[in-house]
Chain A
Amino acid sequence: MAVDLTQFHAVFFEEAAEHLADMERRLVALDPADPDREDVDGIFRAAHSIKGGANMFGFAEIAQVTHELETLLDAARRGGLQVTNAIVDAALGARDFLQQALSAARAGRPADAAQAEAQSAALRKLAARGAPAAVGQTAAARPAAAVADAQTLELSWPAGRERGALAVAQLIEQVAQLAGTTPAAFAGSARQLQEDGSARLVLPAGVDAAQMREGLAFVLPPECMRLPATEAAADFGFFEENLPAQLAAAPAPAPAARPAADFGFFDENLPERLQGTQAQARDRRAGDRRQGDRRTGDRRGGAPVADADAVSIRVSAQKVDRLINLTGEMMIGVSMIRSGAASEQAFSSSALGSALASVERNMRELQEAALSIRMIPIAGVFARFPRLVRDLSARLGKVAELRMEGETTELDRGLMERLIDPLTHLVRNSLDHGIEPSAMRTAAGKPVRGTVWLRARHEGGNVVIEVEDDGAGLPREKIVRRAREMGMQIDESSSDAKLWDLIFAPGFSTAEQVSDVSGRGVGMDVVRRNVREFGGNVEVSTQPDKGTRMTVRLPLTLAIMDGMELALGDEIYILPLNAIIESLRPAPEDLKSIGGARRALQLRGEVLPVLPLAEVLGVAEALPITEGVLVVVENAGRRAALAVDALLGQQQVVVKNLEANFRRVHGLAGATILGSGAVGLILDVEALVQRAGGFGRAAAGETQRDLA
């Protein structure tokens, strides 16, 4: 009977995506002059895992390319093939193809077979170059390793992995296969391994210890196996873990010898764009290394195989949201008990009262804990940027390195995905507009290699992300000129802050020519709009010849918001607190009527449009404006006064989107559950302010606020 494999597809896609991300990270970090063995192994493992899944599920193209990639990496791993930039690039290309093929497969479309063939051919060609050497090297090495006669293999079961009979049997089968015998030969050891978690296996004579070790590396962390013969072999400088000597089979070549070999590859396999970037890439990598061991340490710690302490489980976001929902409901239940209990004598001073207080406290903690599940380190977003900087600086012919700080800063998963586009844009801008060409940098007495920093940190209830470069800074004169061309009221005496803010105006670009990277004038306004959409802000600071820093400030989580509850008739609405400037009871003389029905509020010399919310929201019995409260709100520099019956108070609300089960509704930003258990609707300030319209203020849009 056939098992329906499609049910496992989702798992495969998810895992493959993780492997691809890991592969990319390691490839970009890989320094051809001194390839980190662990990285090469990691890339190989990733390719191998994807290949396994692809074969099982019948994604032939993916299997084909991963197979070639695996062959190439295996040659590099065994040391026969010198890792070059050409290999790294080809592997990155293959990775990109795999990503495409995977998303095609996910969408149920077939992968591009022609491209798979092209990728495979490129990889094969590179692998073929290393092949003769590989044969020679391994042939020489093997006998040395195989000298030992009967050897013992000491296995210990990895901590944190479940020691099931099936898992043990699989491991033993693997060993048997590598040893060229049958699992039955190790039956006793298997039992022992299952019972004690460790066992000593006597291997038949002639087993290649190196091969055994490498073969098992896929299923067992290195510290869980001991092959005495391998230790002996270490004397040859061959198998030692974590030592450059381990790469004896891939001797680090004298630098002088390398360019010739590299160019050989370039001529055949690479577009000319890389010619000039090779040195720069090496520079950058050297810089990466110089940056310190901390990062290397981090990376090691995050290695997927060995880390038994950081146990994590994969849980669907739906389950997490359900948990958050339920804790939210419990909170509401508890607060309903609390308000009921307030009137009950029994609760006021008794054990019941303190029990309730402790339940409330625990509930709050439970809710925080539940919400924290949604928080993940920003490293997931940052991970894509080394590659971006590498490719882009090559394309722009610039020399630049990326430094990242605070990758462990956590923020809401939902924010993460939406951050990618704005951040990508900012980093691109830094490379394209910020970092100068090498000649200019030299002339200015700066280091040839430009630096782009990507930093993240928590600050109060916010996450702050900075994209900074040590480039030329924003060109003040150009901005002034461009602003005038666009008919803006700007002159040389305008303050810096006003000028810098102009780059966020729609259609504003000072780039002399439009490159395929940036300069089309769409961008910064979109970045600001995106960031503001999820309650954040972008600021710019710059110094001529010193560089530019873009600071993105975001709320910690999308899931919770500080809101103000408003009463309108017998309905309750929620207004985001950060949009509220002030509230007031208007005196009749402050309210002017403009153009008949429209009303305006005169407030300290400013004239604000008044929007009667009851009318907009179709609330039947609301108070007349003069008897209610006006709430002054601001969005994107525009202000309006919303007329409501009363303000009920400030409340932290759990934000739920209407789209989950319904659709977007104009004028609403979302919904939440009120203390009463009913749904409360969260108003969309942007839509309301737009609807209120401006009295001349709206015309210049976003920049108006700073210019006024």
Chain B
Amino acid sequence: MDDKPQAQDDGQGREYLAFSLGGEEYVVDILKVQEIRTYEGVTRIANVPAFIKGVMNLRGTVVPVVDLRLRFNVGKAEYDATTIVIVINLGRRTIGMVVDGVSDVVVLKPSDLRPAPEIAGVLRAEYLQGVAILGPRLLIVVDIDGLMSSREMGLLETAGAQSAA
């Protein structure tokens, strides 16, 4: 977990997991992805925002699951055997997120990245690290730590509580 992004940047670039959300294609650093699972056995929690679907058992660890489709009002929030949960590892925390679908793993070189335009996508620009154009595809690189620890996700107590943890 200690590898700094820069460490691998010289030369061949890094791997990213691509997923779709509301017709847009996002990528997240694959080192942050712990695993991909189907959506099942999620226990509902009362009195939390609707996009927090609840908690699931990940080999004995209780992991919250958020549905990004609900959070950002895109796609159809249906749950069946094909619903996918990407389990993200944010240092000490593990969080599951539901997206429309997972497509593939792409390799991006630092030179592929350019600043994210200040246009309104599904995700606000402050949670984006940039965009990359790969052939016909426009890939939006998500700052997953920033997004998941943001206040609007409501996954952490507060900024203060987080640093105290």
Contacts and interface: CB of A to CB of B under 8 A. Distances in A.
Interface of A: 7, 322, 324-326, 328-329, 571, 616-619, 656-668, 671, 673, 677-681
A679 B157 CA distance: 21
Contacts, number: 79
Contact of B43 (A656, A666, A667, A681): A681
B43 A677 contact: no
Interface in B40-68: 41, 43-48, 54-57, 59-64
A665 B47 contact: yes
Given A617-B46, A658-B55, A667-B46, A678 B41 contact: yes
Contacts of A324: 60
B98 to A, nearest CB: 15
Contacts of A678: 41, 43, 56-57
A669 to B, nearest CB: 13
Nearest to B64: A662
B34 to A, nearest CB: 11
Interface of B: 2, 41, 43-48, 54-57, 59-64, 93-95, 154-157, 161, 165
Contacts of A666: 47
A329 B64 CA distance: 18
A465 B100 CA distance: 55
Majority secondary structure, A binding face: mixed
Among A7, A326, A329, A678, chain B packs the most CB atoms within 10 A around the CB of A678
Contacts of A618: 46-47
Given A326-B59, A660-B93, 4 more contacts: A658-B62, A659-B165, A663-B157, A678-B43
Top 4 A-B pairs, shortest CB-CB distance: A325-B60, A662-B64, A617-B46, A679-B43
19 contacts: A7-B2, A325-B60, A329-B59, A571-B43, A617-B46, A617-B47, A659-B157, A661-B61, A661-B62, A662-B62, A663-B155, A663-B156, A664-B157, A671-B43, A671-B55, A677-B41, A678-B43, A679-B41, A679-B43
A665 B48 contact: yes
B48 A661 contact: no
A421 B94 CA distance: 31
Nearest to A677: B57
Contacts of B62: 656-658, 660-662, 671, 673, 679
Contacts of B48: 665
A678 B61 CA distance: 11
B47 A679 contact: no
Contacts of A661: 61-64, 93-95
B87 to A, nearest CB: 10
B45 A681 contact: yes
Contacts of B46: 616-619, 667
B47 to A, nearest CB: 7
Contacts of B44: 571
A656 B61 CA distance: 8
A354 B139 CA distance: 57
A174 B157 CA distance: 53
B147 to A, nearest CB: 16
A326 B155 CA distance: 25
A211 B149 CA distance: 58
A374 to B, nearest CB: 15
Contacts of A664: 157
Contacts of B2: 7
A164 to B, nearest CB: 27
B59 A325 contact: yes
A325 B48 CA distance: 26
A660 B94 CA distance: 9
Contacts of A657: 62
A671 B57 CA distance: 10
Contacts of B45: 665, 668, 681
B154 to A, nearest CB: 8
A449 to B, nearest CB: 42
Given A667-B46, A678-B43, A679-B43, A662 B55 contact: yes
A616 to B, nearest CB: 7
Given A663-B155, A664-B157, A665-B48, A329 B43 contact: no
Nearest to B45: A665
A296 B18 CA distance: 65
B85 to A, nearest CB: 13
B41 A328 contact: no
A571 B42 CA distance: 11
Nearest to B154: A663
Contacts of A571: 43-44
Among B47, B48, B60, B157, chain A packs the most CB atoms within 10 A around the CB of B60
A661 B156 CA distance: 8
A328 B60 contact: yes
A680 B57 CA distance: 9
Contacts of B154: 663
A325 B55 contact: no
Contacts of A656: 60-62
A671 B62 CA distance: 7
Contacts of B165: 659
A224 B47 CA distance: 65
Given A678-B41, A679-B55, A660 B61 contact: yes
A658 B56 CA distance: 11
A50 B122 CA distance: 53
A401 B60 CA distance: 47
Contacts of B57: 673, 677-679
A328 B54 CA distance: 21
A524 B150 CA distance: 39
A152 to B, nearest CB: 49
Given A656-B62, A663-B157, A679 B56 contact: yes
A618 B45 CA distance: 9
Contacts of A673: 57, 60, 62
Contacts of A658: 55, 62, 64
A613 to B, nearest CB: 10
Contacts of A325: 59-61
A108 to B, nearest CB: 12
A528 to B, nearest CB: 24
A661 B56 CA distance: 11
A665 B54 CA distance: 11
A218 B113 CA distance: 56
B76 to A, nearest CB: 21
Contact of A663 (B56, B94, B161): B161
Nearest to A618: B46
A668 B60 CA distance: 18
Contacts of B95: 661
A680 B61 contact: no
B59 to A, nearest CB: 6
B165 to A, nearest CB: 7
A471 B46 CA distance: 51
Contacts of B55: 658, 662, 671, 679, 681
